[in-house]
Amino acid sequence: MRIILYVLIILAGAFISNRGLLSSIVEKNLSKLQYASLLLLLFIMGVNIGINDEIINDFSKLGFQAIVLSLSSIILSVAAVKLVSTYFKYKEKAVKQDES
């Protein structure tokens, strides 16, 4: 259910800015507002981590897991785009052969 709320909020934000319904004061300071709310949230997230003793004790384990997860994500995403670009080249070739 929460996801519907998230999507609705994003759509509301997109609609308002797309239609130019924002006042120019908000529009000018949008990135500052965004950054301020982001920093506040990250601070709270940090507090949440600091309060939790288990995470602090497991920090090196988390670091190792993070390296494994980020590298495996990058490798498979590069492989997937490799597939897509090979498909594009194959299509291009087919079009050229049709033309000649």
Partner 1 sequence: MSLSIILTVAVGILSGLFIFPEAFAGRISLIIDIGLCLLLFFVGMDIGRNKQIINQIKSKGYKILLIPLGVALGSIAGSVLGGFVLGLPINESSAIGAGFGWYSLSAIVLSKYSAEVGALAFITNVCREVFALVSIPYIARYIGKLEAIAPAGATAMDTSLPIISKATDANTAVISFITGVVLSTLVPILVPILISI
Q: CA geometry: angle at 42 spanning 51 and 5, to 5°?
A: 105
**Which pair of tokens denotes residue 29?**
């300071």
CB of 21 to partner 1, least distance (A): 10
* 85 part of the interface to partner 1, by CB under 8 A: yes
* 33 part of the interface to partner 1, by CB under 8 A: yes
Task: List Cβ neighbours of 49 (8 Å cut-off, separation of 6 or more).
Answer: 55, 56
Residues contacting partner 1: total by CB under 8 A: 64
Evaluate whether 83 touches 89 at the Cβ level (below 8 Å).
Answer: no
Q: Which is nearer to partner 1, 5 or 100 (CB)?
A: 5
CB of 94 to partner 1, least distance (A): 13
* 94 part of the interface to partner 1, by CB under 8 A: no
CA distance 49 to 69: 20
Coil, strand or helix: which one is 23? coil
Could you list the residues that contact partner 1 (CB under 8 A)? 2-3, 5-7, 9-18, 22, 30, 33-34, 37-52, 54-56, 58, 62-63, 65-85, 87-88
